[in-house]
């Protein structure tokens, strides 16, 4: 079989502490591990950490990376972002066209990190595929993109249904595959006490842990009221600063048993997860991204570390797990949430069946398996 050449185009600052950076880096590694000749095409962004992608994300192989020039406008942020995204669109189009004229055939694979930097891709005359992580507006750039796209990968069926209804895309052009996990990285079998010693945490505390970036669509405000109902259980929140948490949740006062752990390097996440007595997945009915359109990577990570999981009973979470693996709480109901957290922390033996079922479920979601399924779809489409 001829080796597939893939240009992975992403308007992203890499490496980045944000979750999309993990997904992007791990998928590129997984494609390369599945015998793809992959080139990651990125903008030359300002304020990019000096670390290599391999060091920052713990990759097991180097990635071929092409960074293209973009023009920065300065401030305000939105103007700068729009201007740099537009110039990246032009730079990436010119680069890919030059590659094509040199006879370097391949496919284009891109991801929806903004609304328009992908707009020149249909004019390249190269087969292109797009990974979509959220609802899409019926805009001209999207209509242009979807008119001749060869295939789409979505992270859940709700996004697929929205794309079919809004743009009339045939169902055989779209596959659904949730996000994934690096099983070797997270299945470390660290004991709770070992992890807490390394992190400098008190060993005798009962800790419920939430990890993840602080975004307004996640419904983080429930953690304030949750902490107040947890009694002597401490709630640790890792993913941002105290000021960021206050700004997102609109709170001035944080309960004494709610500890903001700050940002954590990706390489330290297995330590944090191992340190928890229970791991929390949010989801709110107040926001469609949270309720319908997400595929939270933290949920896959939680599955692998053998700790009790309490998750919001949203359609997006239910698409991945069931009551066999997690305890569900009613979305936006802090009383039910607190009761489920208390039960999980106080009844570890009862939770053992769920913990083992969760670990077994995690084996289905490796990045390598995800890349293989996507590549099977791409090859099927190309051979039609």
From residue 16, alpha-carbon distances to 13, 52, 118, 161, 185 in Å are 6, 11, 20, 31, 18
For the chain, give the mean pLDDT.
94
- Same-domain pairing of 112 and 205: no
Residue 50's pLDDT is: 64
- Mean pLDDT to the nearest integer, 23-52: 89
- Same-domain pairing of 172 and 222: no
Mean pLDDT lowest for which of 9-18, 193-202, 230-239?
Answer: 9-18
- Same-domain pairing of 242 and 319: yes
- Same-domain pairing of 250 and 377: no
- Mean pLDDT to the nearest integer, 53-79: 88
State the pTM of this model. Answer: 0.92
- Same-domain pairing of 139 and 216: no
Residue 215's pLDDT is: 92
- Same-domain pairing of 172 and 233: no
- Same-domain pairing of 152 and 207: no
Residue pair 357/364 in contact (Cβ under 8 Å)? The answer is no
- Cα dihedral 374/270/237/56 (nearest 10): -70
Residue 202's pLDDT is: 95
- Same-domain pairing of 226 and 354: yes
| CB neighbours of residue 113 within 10 Å | 18
- Same-domain pairing of 173 and 275: no
Q: Which residues contact 91 (CB under 8 A, 6 or more apart)?
A: 43, 68, 69, 70
Q: Look at residue 77 and tell me whether its pLDDT is greater than 80.
A: no
- Same-domain pairing of 205 and 132: no
The CATH number of residue 308's host domain is 3.40.50.2000
Residue 51's pLDDT is: 75
- Same-domain pairing of 51 and 164: yes
Residue 105's pLDDT is: 87
- Same-domain pairing of 289 and 171: no
pLDDT tens per residue across span 136-169: 999 999 999 999 999 999 999 999 999 999 999 9
Query: Could you give the number of structural domains in the chain?
Result: 2
CB-based burial, 36-49: b 16+ in 10 Å, e otherwise: bebbbbbbebeeee
Structural domain including 297 reads: 183-364
Q: What is the DSSP letter of 29?
A: H
């Amino acid at each position: 079989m001829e080796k597939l050449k893939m240009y992975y185009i992403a308007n992203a600052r890499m490496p980045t502490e944000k979750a999309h950076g993990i997904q992007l880096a791990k998928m590129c590694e997984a494609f390369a591990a599945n015998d793809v000749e992959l080139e990651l095409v990125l903008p030359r962004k300002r304020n990019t950490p000096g670390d290599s992608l391999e060091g920052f994300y713990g990759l097991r192989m180097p990635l071929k990376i092409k960074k293209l020039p973009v023009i920065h406008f300065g401030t305000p942020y939105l103007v700068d972002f729009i201007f740099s995204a537009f110039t990246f669109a032009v730079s990436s189009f010119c680069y890919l066209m030059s590659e094509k004229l040199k006879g370097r055939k391949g496919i284009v694979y891109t991801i929806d990190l903004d609304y328009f930097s992908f707009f020149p891709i249909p004019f390249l005359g190269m087969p292109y595929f797009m990974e979509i992580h959220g609802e899409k507006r019926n805009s001209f750039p999207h209509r242009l993109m979807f008119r001749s796209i060869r295939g789409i990968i979505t992270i859940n069926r709700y996004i697929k249904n929205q794309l079919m209804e809004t743009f009339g895309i045939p169902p055989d052009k779209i596959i659904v595959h949730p996000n994934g996990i690096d099983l070797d990285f997270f299945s470390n079998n660290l004991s709770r006490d070992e992890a807490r010693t390394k992190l400098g945490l008190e060993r005798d505390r009962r800790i419920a842990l939430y990890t993840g970036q602080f975004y307004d669509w996640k419904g983080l405000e429930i953690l304030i009221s949750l902490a107040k109902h947890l009694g002597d259980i401490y709630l640790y929140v890792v993913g941002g600063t105290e000021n960021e948490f206050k700004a997102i949740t609109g709170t001035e006062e944080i309960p004494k048993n709610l500890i903001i752990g700050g940002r954590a390097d990706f390489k330290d996440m297995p330590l944090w997860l191992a340190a928890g007595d229970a791991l929390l997945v949010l989801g709110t009915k107040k926001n469609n991204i949270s309720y319908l359109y997400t595929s939270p990577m933290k949920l896959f990570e939680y599955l692998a570390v053998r700790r009790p999981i309490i998750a919001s009973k949203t359609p997006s979470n239910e698409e991945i797990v069931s009551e066999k693996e997690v305890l569900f709480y009613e979305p936006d109901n802090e009383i039910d949430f607190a009761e489920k957290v208390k039960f999980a922390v106080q009844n570890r033996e009862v939770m053992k069946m769920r913990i083992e079922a969760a670990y077994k479920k995690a084996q289905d979601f490796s990045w390598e398996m995800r890349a293989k399924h996507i590549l099977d779809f791409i090859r099927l489409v190309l051979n039609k």
